[in-house]
Chains A and B, each alone.
Chain A
């Protein structure tokens, strides 16, 4: 190219860079949404005039979708002035688009936001969510929901740590990682559902001796591993310690003896053949299907499988909380993805009224009817099956006795990736328990250093 062409090319590039060249994020509002006071809030949706409410939810699995569709229809029948524009997406798809949705001009009014720091925490820090404390007062949510549930949707303005500060969401369902068991196989092995760790270990050994797969486990997507590790951790660490580890608080370290024992327990299970052979190449859905088809005595997984397992196994499947040696139960669990209100919503009152409606007693009853676990009032439902009865009473017991500990991925923006990845390497013998714990601690330390 000649000199003048170079110059014009350079000019064109400069012009394009100038076009592109404002600081990323400067087009976003940097004012924090104001807190709405209870006395300013209109709680009667009928008085809000004609409006459309855009709702992004992730209730797409069978029973979840049914209860959501039914609730939306009831809401619209009751308040014909409000049209609900529902946008259902799978959890992963919703997570990937929420970031863009909340920062766009046409942000949704109501959106289910994952409680993790990389999601809800980051959005709170950026001022993209409406604080709901005024609404909680107006709708008396504090009376209906236990603190242990509400604190899983609380964040301070800085977006860290989870569990403190203002309320930003309200969940509809509960989740619990316990033990599903094959009743027929337990009967054949001559054991009753294990209540203590000693009983559980005996059951595993007997199952192994009878050439059964003791714990059905498929970790291809790595998500099952984080649950299995949480399950093992519940055996050793007090609930408050696990809460600190999971949310990245000071005072407890991954290198402490309790997490170490949990890591060694996992390795032991892998070594002794207590897990499905080839688990790292087996999908988690494939694993529960094999369990449903009669391969495997136990399945450590969450209550989100309740509807599917019930449909596949009928009364042949049972559910129990993790075994306990002494003292109170500790169980990994939490709420389903909370419903939050976008800071850019033009109709926050209508959005909050909608959230109140889907989490009302009617909402809980519809949840239970469609084989989902309602976050509150679980014990007062009349579940038609034995499995649901077991799950509902387990949840009621755990949430009321303070035995719930959060999932292990809330500590840092990268925690989910780190925990799932290192658990996989631990089970594959790529990491010793010591190295495994060092990697977990490094993730927390890196995040504290404030990157």
Chain B
């Protein structure tokens, strides 16, 4: 702010952005919160329900398991990709592979492809007679062949692993960029001190990557909590039984198919709050104070 300009003039600069933000984000969010206090079918006049929609959130088995599945997906969409990303990025960085740009592109590719396309492709790969099972049988691992998307025990894991495949690209690229920023002298010093691969990783790479890990975790945790397209396409209606239902799917189902808009809004608000809370925790823990 130029010196001497009164404070309230400063706010004027913010007004356009705030207006857009308010109209397209804050207002709909508050409106959803308001609707979540009603029992509403989306067609007739709603009736006041107070916090009922929120209370039933925790009472319904189906919904509890949907949130449970979302937590499982965090493991596959966030934790695994971050670990894999760290391993892959430091391996790619260390060994100075030729054609690094090529590998980077290949690993990042799933991020570029639309999720619906990813889902359809994997659905065919995982089909009972699909390539994955065929490959397992070809090498004699018949016992490992599964009806991946058709069994309650494997459907969520199958969806999760596709998520891992997609998100790993993002984390690798993020971490590669992060490692690139680390001064080579640090590695040199570590090596002179006799540090091995693991020591080097633990003492140099990992601490320097902390902010990148925080960013990667935040992005992937949010992605995992709002997963919809993978579940919707790969396991229509939430998979065998309700084994892959997630909150985002429940919102869609309730609002657009079952005519329970109030309940859908309540799930949406809860999910938003959960995303905020988890992001805050991630930033606090992994990001540190900066």
- The interface of chain A, by Cβ under 8 A from chain B, is 13, 16-17, 19-21, 23-26, 28, 30, 95-96, 99, 102-103, 118, 122-123, 125-126, 128, 219-222, 277-283, 286, 413-414, 417, 420-421, 424-425, 428, 430
A278's contact among B129, B256, B262, by CB below 8 Å, is which?
Answer: B129
Nearest B residue to A103 via CB reads: B43
B237's contact among A95, A125, A417, by CB below 8 Å, is which?
Answer: A417
B31's contact among A20, A23, A30, by CB below 8 Å, is which?
Answer: A20
Listed stretches B32-40, B135-143, B165-173, B184-192; interface member? B32-40
B150's contact among A19, A21, A280, by CB below 8 Å, is which?
Answer: A280
Contacts of B42 in A (CB 8 A): 24-25, 99, 103
Nearest A residue to B42 via CB reads: A99
Minimum CB–CB distance for A426 against chain B, Å = 10
Q: How many residue pairs between the two chains, A and B, have CB atoms under 8 Å in the bound complex?
A: 122
How many B residues touch A, CB cutoff 8 Å? 41
Nearest A residue to B56 via CB reads: A451
Contacts of B35 in A (CB 8 A): 24
Is the CB–CB distance between B150 and A281 below 8 Å?
yes
Q: In the assembly, what is the distance between CA of A21 and CA of B258, in Å? A: 24
Listed stretches B89-97, B99-107, B120-128, B201-209; interface member? B120-128
- The interface of chain B, by Cβ under 8 A from chain A, is 22, 26-27, 30-31, 34-35, 38, 40-46, 48, 123, 126-129, 147-152, 235-238, 240-242, 253, 256-259, 261-262
Is the CB–CB distance between B237 and A421 below 8 Å?
yes
**Shortest 4 CB-CB contacts between residues of A and residues of B:** A278-B128, A281-B150, A280-B150, A126-B43
Most buried by A among B147, B148, B150: B150
Is the CB–CB distance between B128 and A281 below 8 Å?
yes
Minimum CB–CB distance for B128 against chain A, Å = 3
Minimum CB–CB distance for A251 against chain B, Å = 26
Q: In the assembly, what is the distance between CA of A279 and CA of B48, in Å? A: 44
Nearest B residue to A23 via CB reads: B46
Nearest B residue to A412 via CB reads: B258
Contacts of A280 in B (CB 8 A): 147, 149-151, 240
A282's contact among B26, B43, B128, B236, by CB below 8 Å, is which?
Answer: B128
Q: In the assembly, what is the distance between CA of A48 and CA of B219, in Å? A: 57
Contacts of A99 in B (CB 8 A): 42-43, 256, 259
Is the CB–CB distance between A283 and B34 below 8 Å?
no
